[in-house]
Amino acid sequence: MPIRIPDELPAVNFLRHENVFVMTSSRAHVQEIRPLKVLILNLMPKKIETENQFLRLLSNSPLQIDIQLLRIDSRESHNTSNEHLNTFYCNFDDIRNDNFDGLIVTGAPLGLVDFNDVAYWSQIQCILHWSKEHVTSTLFLCWAVQAALKILYGLSKKTRKKKLLGVYEHNILRPHALLTRGFDDHFLAPHSRYADFPSQLIYDYTDLELFADSEITGAYLMASKDKRLVLVTGHPEYDATTLLTEYNRDRDAGLQPEVPFNYFPENNPNLLPNVTWRSHGNLLFCNWLNYYVYQITPFDLRHMNPTLE
């Protein structure tokens, strides 16, 4: 089944070019079906690129999904036009009384920034606490995992000396769990972060279940027992050239980054990288939507918060 997005969103033509089934809002209105309502809090600077990446993954579910894009930083963007933001994004005040089946909180290039120095830190806190009553299941990625661990578990930020950049192999710890159903014993996923997530930290200071990790990346995939929280420390949504773009950006800025691990053929930056994580990303998002959202969300979202009836 398709994702349901506004007719004019750039992702419509972008994804159709890849033969992804996209249903525009005008066509969806004639179908009598209750789609899942998924809110995407997009914290990445390049909004359109990130929209395309997440919508591609969400489109592989057999469920119809109604997408709402959310922004919380009202400052002028240097990477996305105000016209695009004003047309396709809502502000938190627009939806604070609504309920959603799922919420996705993207990463952000804030790995070396203290939480209190993040311009929208108070808004992030507000939305995460709001989601406890208004969202069936929330999926956090990369920096958003750091934010969630701080806000929901009081864990201070841990930072690596060197940036973790590349495509790393991970081990399945719970092969029969719903979230990892269909996974291979070992799978690849991209990382691009300074944040450190030691597996032992998760075991010692949270009640989260750890489903996948590796000696190099630490904890990768974890979730709460009630399925309301899912945390992914990497970037399964990344395109083939996203790490290449970040590597070139850091190199142009004089940061002397290491060549992304296990990414370029023959470890040669002059060769185009191959995508080795797409099947994992698709399966992860399908499992989240099915087992952590669709199977437990109420048919009438007002029942999630009776005060809204």
Specify whether 134 is catalytic: no
Specify whether 286 is catalytic: no
Catalytic pick from 134, 170, 235, 280?
Answer: 235
Specify whether 235 is catalytic: yes
192 carries a ligand binding annotation: yes
Query: Which of 111, 134, 109 is closest to 195 using CA atoms?
Result: 111
163 carries a ligand binding annotation: yes
Catalytic pick from 134, 142, 191, 280?
Answer: 142
Find out whether 213 and 170 touch, Cβ atoms under 8 Å: yes
Catalytic pick from 49, 51, 237, 246?
Answer: 237
Residues with catalytic annotation? 142, 235, 237
Binding site feature residues for substrate? 163, 192, 249
Binding site feature residues? 163, 192, 249
